Structure 1
Amino acid sequence: MARYTGPLCRLCRAEQKKLFLKGDRCKSDKCPINKKRAIPGKDPKARTGKRSDYGVQLREKQRIKRMYGMLEKQFRLFFERALRMPGVTGENLIGLLERRLDNVVFRMHLAANRNQARQIVGHGHILVNGKPVNIPSYLVKPGDVVEVKESSKKLNVIKDSLKEVSKSGSYSWISIDVDALKGTFVSIPHRADVTDLADIKEQLVVELYSK
């Protein structure tokens, strides 16, 4: 399957906003956004002027898509699914993205970032309700138990990531048992609960795809 293999910091520079793609580095002074690095490309000044409505909508879609580490085709499928669901389409979309297994593993602090979470899931280190699942886009349901399989509990990458629980705490829609390396997806989060996406305007994505 196709995937982005270039430098992750370049994506943040392109959006001129932090996408938190590299864990602790994004919170440190080494982040290129903190250093006010220029937009990547041959003529960055040409892309800093006033954007059209379409340009604003496109950038917001790209930003959300890159934060969750998805390519266009898969992201569009998630949007179409959200569109068919009852309720507000934008909120449905965020709810679906938060239900992705790689995102749940990241939210449980079993990985430093979503890219690392996809690798952990893809390499077969995660169980859902006691059964191995190696599909990062697998949608977790309320009540599902997500855990690290027994033979993978000694992985340093997981142990190091769990230290973030004491720093950042847990999320209200996921209960975590740090000692057992497992957690329960309690409920689909309300839009207001996802505070790290507070400045995201998912309605712009709805407007873009509705044209």
Structure 2
Amino acid sequence: MSRYRGPRLRVVRRLGGLPGLSRKSPRKTYPPGQHGQARKKRSEYAVRLEEKQKLRYNYGVTEKQLIRYVRKARRATGSTGTALLEMLEMRLDNTIFRLGMAGTIPGARQLVNHGHITVNGRVVNIASYQCRPGDVIAVRDRDRSRRLVETNMEYPGLANLPSHLEFDKNTFTGKVNGIIEREWIALQINELLVIEYYSRMA
């Protein structure tokens, strides 16, 4: 299944708040479609599927990528669900979004893909690059790149900077000081249901 490029507010209405997908909030609070306002009982499978879709749409990953992240998380020490969220949060596109250089994760991905971002002094154009503690993330030293980020910073996606990041607004330089803690993850999700979804699919 490829990356979603359809109407974002439709997804937000269906799944609830997705801070990485859209800054806008929908006028209608019920899900889209003919039966959006009709209350219907959801099965356990539907609940797990919805939690998985929240992850996919918020972080902008494909089904294949998400399965790979789940497999890596299973091999990691500690809680599988927490390890999965940490890996998704430490992606370069998400880190740029959390630094405030872009209003959404798709916007941050575009900055990376177009070569506007450097990591430790080298241009990195792979959005899925895993940031590590000590990485210095900066805007490329070009007028066009700086103008783009300046414009984006007028309308940041999330106001609060997580404790594992620091950012200098004068030089457009950020630093990763550690791994994100669970309480700083903005997405409201039950990650255990996502792990359960994939364990039952296997």
- Normalising by the residue count of structure 2, what TM-score does the alignment of the two structures yield? 0.90
Q: Does the Cα contact within 8 Å between 1:10 and 1:40 map onto a contact in 2?
A: yes
Map of 1:35 onto structure 2:
28
Map of 1:12 onto structure 2:
12
**Structure 1 residues without counterparts, runs of 5 or longer:** none
- Report deviation, 1:151: 0.8
* Cα deviation digits, residues 95-120 of structure 1 (max 9, x gap): 00111000001011110110100000
Map of 2:65 onto structure 1:
74
Pairing 1:94-109 to 2, within 5 Å after superposition = 94-109=85-100
Please tell me whether residue 44 in structure 1 is matched to residue 36 in structure 2: yes
Structure 1 residues 154 and 119, CA gap change in structure 2 (3 angstroms) = closer
- Report deviation, 1:70: 1.1
Pairing 1:73-152 to 2, within 5 Å after superposition = 73-152=64-143
Deviates more, 1:151-160 or 1:119-128: 151-160
- Normalising by the residue count of structure 1, what TM-score does the alignment of the two structures yield? 0.86
Please tell me whether residue 161 in structure 1 is matched to residue 152 in structure 2: yes
* Cα deviation digits, residues 166-192 of structure 1 (max 9, x gap): x82422110101111111111111212
Deviates more, 1:144-153 or 1:80-89: 144-153
* Cα deviation digits, residues 28-73 of structure 1 (max 9, x gap): xxx21x432x423344356x41111111111011011111111111
- Report deviation, 1:14: 2.0
Map of 2:195 onto structure 1:
206
Map of 1:22 onto structure 2:
22
Q: Does the Cα contact within 8 Å between 1:174 and 1:186 map onto a contact in 2?
A: yes
Aligned length: 198
| Whole-Å separation in 2 of the counterparts to 1:43 and 1:156 | 45
Counting aligned pairs with the same residue, the percent is 39
Could you tell me which amino acid in structure 1 is paired with residue 56 of structure 2? K
Q: Does the Cα contact within 8 Å between 1:121 and 1:133 map onto a contact in 2?
A: yes
- Report deviation, 1:153: 6.0
Q: Does the Cα contact within 8 Å between 1:65 and 1:71 map onto a contact in 2?
A: yes
Q: Does the Cα contact within 8 Å between 1:108 and 1:183 map onto a contact in 2?
A: yes
| Whole-Å separation in 2 of the counterparts to 1:81 and 1:14 | 29
